[in-house]
């Protein structure tokens, strides 16, 4: 068993900033997605920060990044910095979600004003 969600992600997807640990476990995508689904916000944020410290990098697939941000925002809906980080991720990875990114930025702005 991996000691953290970030370690599991690193084993499954690799890490351009360091070597993936050799653990000998099955790294089926379904097991990682299930662990991600029920993880607390701090664990999910650790994955995003450790494996994708800059918006444009990291081996973590976009189809994992987007729900990871969504899961964090469900747990912490009133944190402007997280709303902006999720918006930046959406803007970076395709125009089909720009309207959602713009809404996230508006929410962040409103929280900081109010």
In SS3 terms, 40-71 reads as CHHHHHHHHHHHCCCCCCCCCCHHHHHHHHHH
Q: Where are the domains of the chain?
A: 5-113
Say how far apart CA 8 and CA 30 lie, in whole Å: 12
pLDDT, tens digit (0-9, with 9 covering 90-100), for 76-109: 999 999 999 999 999 998 789 999 999 999 999 9
pLDDT, tens digit (0-9, with 9 covering 90-100), for 14-39: 888 877 777 877 777 888 999 999 99
Q: Which residues contact 66 (CB under 8 A, 6 or more apart)?
A: 89, 90, 93, 97
Please tell me the pTM assigned to this model: 0.91
Q: Which DSSP letter does residue 17 get? A: T
* pLDDT for position 19: 77
């Amino acid at each position: 068993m991996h000691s953290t969600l970030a370690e599991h992600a690193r084993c499954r997807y690799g890490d351009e900033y360091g070597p993936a640990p050799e653990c000998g476990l099955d790294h089926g995508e379904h097991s990682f997605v299930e662990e991600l689904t029920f993880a607390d916000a701090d664990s999910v944020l650790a994955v995003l920060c450790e494996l994708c410290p800059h918006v444009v990098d990291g081996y973590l697939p976009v189809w994992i990044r987007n729900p990871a941000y969504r899961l964090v925002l469900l747990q912490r809906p009133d944190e402007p910095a997280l709303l902006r980080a999720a918006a930046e991720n959406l803007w970076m990875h395709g125009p089909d979600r720009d309207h959602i990114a713009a809404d996230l930025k508006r929410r962040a702005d409103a929280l900081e004003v109010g």
